[in-house]
């Protein structure tokens, strides 16, 4: 019985470390998907000049999954069923910090508000900012992502040693 409890506690510690490391990995995935989304919008706006709603609906599933529902929430705004607020836009996106949410909200708020040339310049400006955040998040992932895994493992070992 004692070994089962020790194994469960060890597993819990490792799982907690893994969950913390996934938070950093998800931020990197989010910014990568957001940059791809913005670049695709820029290209499509310049060449096909389709409606914004149709462009967002035509995104690939991997990008949609890594955006944590921001695309669906923005489509709800475009269809008129919801108002565009930060709470409505980020209801399924727990990985961003408040200042990052503000910047992403401004990006979505600016979509469709100007002519093609102005919109393209705005998107390119936001892509530069998103790229800076991606670099910062990738560095944090390298530092803290692997660190949290290691700390979870070491905490589990510590508990095993204490209980033995």
| Mean pLDDT in residue range 106-127 | 84
Q: What is the pLDDT of residue 132?
A: 93
Residue ranges making up the domain that contains 44? 2-163
Tokens of 76: 């709800």
Q: Which of 29-38, 47-56, 58-67 has the highest mean pLDDT?
A: 29-38
| Mean pLDDT in residue range 34-49 | 83
| Mean pLDDT in residue range 118-138 | 90
pTM of the model: 0.83
In total, how many domains does the chain have? 1
Each residue's pLDDT tens digit, 56-108: 777 777 777 887 777 787 878 877 777 777 787 788 778 888 888 888 888 88
CA-to-CA separations, 98 to 36, 50, 137, in angstroms, rounded = 22, 32, 14
Closest listed residue to residue 32, CA positions, set 130, 126, 129: 130
């Amino acid at each position: 019985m004692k070994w089962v409890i020790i194994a469960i506690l060890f597993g819990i510690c490792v799982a907690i470390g893994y969950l913390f490391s996934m938070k950093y990995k998800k931020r990197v995935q989010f910014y990568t998907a957001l940059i791809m989304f913005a670049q695709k919008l820029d290209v499509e706006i310049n060449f096909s000049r389709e409606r914004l709603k149709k462009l967002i609906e035509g995104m690939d599933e991997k990008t949609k999954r890594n955006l944590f529902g921001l695309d669906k929430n923005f489509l709800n705004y475009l269809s008129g069923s919801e108002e565009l607020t930060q709470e409505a836009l980020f209801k399924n996106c727990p990985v961003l910090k408040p200042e990052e949410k503000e910047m992403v909200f401004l990006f979505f708020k600016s979509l469709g508000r100007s002519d093609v040339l102005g919109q393209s310049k705005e998107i390119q400006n936001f892509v530069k900012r998103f790229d800076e955040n991606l670099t910062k998040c990738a560095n944090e992932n390298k530092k803290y992502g692997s660190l949290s895994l290691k700390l979870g493992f070491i905490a589990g070992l510590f508990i095993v040693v204490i209980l033995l």
